[in-house]
Amino acid sequence: MKKACLLLEDGFYQEGLPLGAEGEVIGEVVFNTSMTGYQEILTDPSYKGQIVCMTYPLIGNYGINSQDVESSQIQVEGFIIKEKSKIYSNWRAEKSLEEYLRENNIVGIEGVDTRAITKHLRVKGSMKGIISTTDFNSESLKEKLEKFPSIVGRDLVKKVFSNQIYEWEQPLISEFNPLISPQGKVVVIDCGVKFSILRNLKVYFEKVIVIPPTTSLEEILEFEPQGILFSGGPGDPTAVEYVIELAKKIIEKLEKRELRIGVLGISLGHQILGLALGGKIYKLKFGHHGGSYPVKDLETAKIEMTVQNHHFCVDIKSLPTDLEPTYINLYDDTLEGMAHKRLPIFSVQFHPRTELGPFEATGIFSKFKRMIELTTSF
């Protein structure tokens, strides 16, 4: 019988069965606590550079379809599960999880103790790991891990953004509301944007233009947008200096009143705005990866359950006086949102309204539109 193995950089080792393609893959190993949404997780650009371990024990029971994707391809480096469902059953399903991973050449492992892996990462912190179906020599695998670069300081955004400028046309049908009239134009700085974010924007805005993060401010302003959104994305925000510089230029023009637009940052975009405005970033021990993170709105005291995937965090203690915290994480009191006191800028660390749920934070998009209306009077 064929087998596969997992080795973490501190020597933690498990053997299991191959899942998906054969070969080897190295990445930052993280655990995700979502019970559903494995297809959205696999295709989320924020997971580039990461091997995802699912804590829910049975994965693949409802198969794969061509609609529930967050990008045009699988983005995770590797996949770890306890048990693969032997059958899949859903009226929208087109193929099995195994077929999907093989078609996209993704190496995974099943039949391992995902609870032990998760407990180990919670205690020791996320770390590099290797999945192999060809090499089972611990010393050889360890040598490969040692040569592989850390996620810290690596620009992973360049691996996920689209080089094309395009207009997003597809609205989120389930959010259709005859009382909402899509108006105005927003430009999305694509650092690894999820399709669900674009679908939500299309509910509120007539035109949603997606551009590469390497685009100059002059080119962006040629679109005459009323709003700019810095999207989510993978990896260390300090490594994407070109996006931070773009954010600084926009902020400078807002300060000088040379520009009248609203600015929103989501996830990595939140961190980029934090750095551009003078804050500091630090790496969390094992990050936030899952679909049930409670955050508190500091203005209303309302608690919202959110989807999250991030290693890095804006240090709430480093916020300059012009910024105020708007959301905090109730698990560890980390910063989950901030707003500028004078300028039309706000950001959130979590992912508002993704297709795997929950949907409680959808109001971020209507808030963005209201801010733009007040700023530009369009």
pLDDT band at 88 (very low <50, low <70, confident <90, very high): very high
Give the rounded distance of the alpha carbon of 328 from its chain centre: 18
Cα–Cα distances (Å) from 163 to 47, 118, 233, 238, in that order, read 19, 36, 15, 21
- Work out the average pLDDT over 52-57: 97
pLDDT at 173: 58
Strand-pair partners of 266: 348
pLDDT at 182: 80
- Work out the average pLDDT over 199-214: 94
Let me know: does 257 contact 219? Beta carbons within 8 Å. Answer: no
Strand-pair partners of 148: none
pLDDT at 171: 73
pLDDT at 291: 86
- pLDDT at 29 exceeding the cut of 70: yes
Strand-pair partners of 14: 6
d(CA 317, CA 240): 22
> Which two tokens mark 230?
């810095």
Give percent above pLDDT 90 in the chain.
89
CATH superfamily label, 157-376: Class I glutamine amidotransferase (GATase) domain (3.40.50.880)
- pLDDT at 16 exceeding the cut of 70: yes
Q: How many other CB atoms sit within 10 Å of the CB of residue 366?
A: 13
pLDDT band at 357 (very low <50, low <70, confident <90, very high): low
Q: How many other CB atoms sit within 10 Å of the CB of residue 102?
A: 17
Strand-pair partners of 308: 290
- Work out the average pLDDT over 285-311: 93
Q: Yes or no: is domain 4-147 CATH 3.40.109.10? A: no
- pLDDT at 279 exceeding the cut of 90: yes
Burial class (CB in 10 A: 0-12, 13-18, 19+), 217: middle
- pLDDT at 175 exceeding the cut of 60: no
Sorted by where each begins, the domain ranges of the chain are: 4-147, 157-376
pLDDT at 183: 85
Cis peptide leading into 358, omega within 30 of 0? yes
Q: Nearest to residue 132, comparing CAs of 46, 237, 27?
A: 27
d(CA 362, CA 373): 18
pLDDT band at 181 (very low <50, low <70, confident <90, very high): confident
pLDDT band at 174 (very low <50, low <70, confident <90, very high): low
pLDDT at 201: 93
Let me know: does 191 contact 205? Beta carbons within 8 Å. Answer: no
pLDDT at 265: 98
- pLDDT at 205 exceeding the cut of 70: yes
pLDDT band at 363 (very low <50, low <70, confident <90, very high): confident
pLDDT at 352: 85
pLDDT band at 140 (very low <50, low <70, confident <90, very high): very high
- The sign of the dihedral angle between the CA atoms of 265, 270, 272, 277 is positive
Q: Nearest to residue 236, comparing CAs of 228, 244, 245, 247?
A: 244
- The runs of H, that is alpha helices, within 148-213 are 195-204
> Which two tokens mark 172?
């989120």
Mean per-residue pLDDT of the chain:
93
pLDDT band at 361 (very low <50, low <70, confident <90, very high): low
**What Rg do the C-alpha atoms of the chain give, in angstroms?**
21
